[in-house]
Every structure is written in structure tokens, then in C-alpha cells.
């Protein structure tokens, strides 16, 4: 009993103080649910930070890198097959991708097994590439935005800088409005 109390106290202390190690993503909590109903946060061009350069594999095991998408606008969606809000937004993102063929869409399956992700995609087909990040390294390495909640959607400008982001389920109209706002942005 005493050991359990010590462990609980230690974990509360560590969570209150923060940590240099990013925590694993979770699904929306009550506080994030309010933000989830909002629009994308648009980042002015002068304040954009570089999206981390990363190499990973797609769900079929083929190597993939951000270098594959030079000078393209990219919508990156972090999701998991066990995440209810991710499942809710899935058809919306598929429709957004179909409506914006000049924008590259990429899904990153996070904190999930490849088998579970493949099973989900077999039941819910997608037209855009799905990558694997089982350790959530890519999501937790993002700077200047909440980076531990699923789903999270990030829009990258053609220089691979974070131009907009949103935590929580995304609707196709929210993607459209964000892309329209970014098209008007100087130096985008």
C-alpha cells in the first residue's frame, strides 16, 4: 500500500513539474474538447517554425521521408485506430483530400500497432499515404503547439513550416477555410 502511495505521489509530482521527455499522446480530454470545435490556428509566415525532418515507413513498410514532398502544401493528420475522435473525423479528412487535389495529405498512425492500423484502413479506405509512428516521436517533437493529443492536424507550407494546426476532430469545411486563409497569407 505504501509503495503504491509513493508511486502515485511521484507521478503527480513529475506531471506537475513537467518533464524534458514528451508524454505519449492521449485522446481529447474535456479541456481540449472545447478547442476541438474551433477553427485551425493560423500561424503568420514570420512566426512559422520548421516541421521536424523525419524518416519513417508507410504502413506497408516502405521507407518515406518529408524530403519526398518538396515545395508542396501538406496536411498532416495524426491518428490512431483506437481513438474515437480520429474515427469521427476520418470521412471528413477523406472528403477534404478529394476536394483539394493540389494539396498533399498524409496520415500518421501514432501510438498504434501496424496490424490495428491496417485493419482500420481495410474497413475505412483512404486515398492518401498513411505512415507509421508507433512511438509518437514525430507528434511529440512538434514545437509551438499542443503536441500530445489525438487527433491533431497540421498544415505545412511549401517550405515545410507549420502554417496552421488544430487539435481535435477536423471537419472538411475547417480544412477548406484554413487553406483559403493561408492562400492569402504573404510569403506562404
Domain ranges of the chain: 24-183
Report the pLDDT value the prediction gives residue 37, as an integer from 0 to 100.
Answer: 55
Q: Higher-confidence residue: 92 or 16?
A: 92
Residue 6 has pLDDT above 50, yes or no: no
pLDDT tens readout for residues 148-184: 789 999 999 999 899 999 999 999 999 999 999 998 4
Report the pLDDT value the prediction gives residue 94, as an integer from 0 to 100.
Answer: 96
Q: What is the mean pLDDT of residues 126-151?
A: 83
Q: What proportion of the chain, given as a percentage, has pLDDT over 70? A: 77
Q: What is the mean pLDDT of residues 138-156?
A: 83
Report the pLDDT value the prediction gives residue 65, as an integer from 0 to 100.
Answer: 86
Helix, strand, or coil (residue 156): strand
DSSP string, 6-68: HHHHHHHHHHHH--SSPPPPEE--HHHHHHHTS-PEEPPGGG--BPPP-EEEETTS-EEEGGG
Report the pLDDT value the prediction gives residue 157, as an integer from 0 to 100.
Answer: 93
Residue 95 has pLDDT above 90, yes or no: yes
- What is the layout of strands, in order, in the sheet containing 152-156? 41-42, 162-167, 152-156, 74-79, 104-110, 129-133, 55-58, 63-65
CA proximity to 70, closest of 176, 156, 186 = 156
Report the pLDDT value the prediction gives residue 117, as an integer from 0 to 100.
Answer: 95
Please determine, looking at this structure, whether the domain spanning 24-183 carries the CATH number 3.40.30.10: yes
Amino acid at each position: 500500500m505504501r509503495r503504491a502511495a509513493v508511486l502515485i505521489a511521484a507521478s503527480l509530482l513529475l506531471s506537475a513539474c513537467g518533464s524534458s521527455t514528451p508524454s505519449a499522446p492521449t485522446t481529447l480530454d474535456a479541456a481540449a474538447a472545447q478547442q476541438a470545435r474551433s477553427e485551425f490556428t493560423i500561424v503568420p509566415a514570420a512566426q512559422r517554425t520548421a516541421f521536424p525532418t523525419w524518416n519513417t515507413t508507410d504502413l506497408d513498410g516502405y521507407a518515406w521521408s518529408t524530403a519526398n514532398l518538396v515545395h508542396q502544401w501538406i496536411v498532416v493528420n495524426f491518428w490512431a485506430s483506437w481513438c474515437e475522435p480520429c474515427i469521427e473525423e476520418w470521412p471528413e479528412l477523406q472528403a477534404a483530400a478529394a476536394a483539394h487535389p493540389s494539396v498533399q495529405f498524409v496520415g500518421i498512425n501514432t501510438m498504434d500497432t501496424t496490424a490495428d492500423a491496417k485493419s482500420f484502413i481495410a474497413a475505412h479506405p483512404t486515398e492518401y499515404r498513411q505512415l507509421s509512428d508507433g512511438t509518437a516521436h514525430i507528434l511529440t517533437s512538434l514545437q509551438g503547439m499542443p503536441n500530445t493529443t489525438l487527433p491533431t492536424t497540421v498544415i505545412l507550407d511549401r517550405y515545410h513550416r507549420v502554417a496552421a494546426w488544430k487539435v481535435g476532430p477536423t471537419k472538411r469545411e475547417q480544412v477548406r477555410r484554413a487553406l483559403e486563409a493561408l492562400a492569402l497569407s504573404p510569403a506562404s
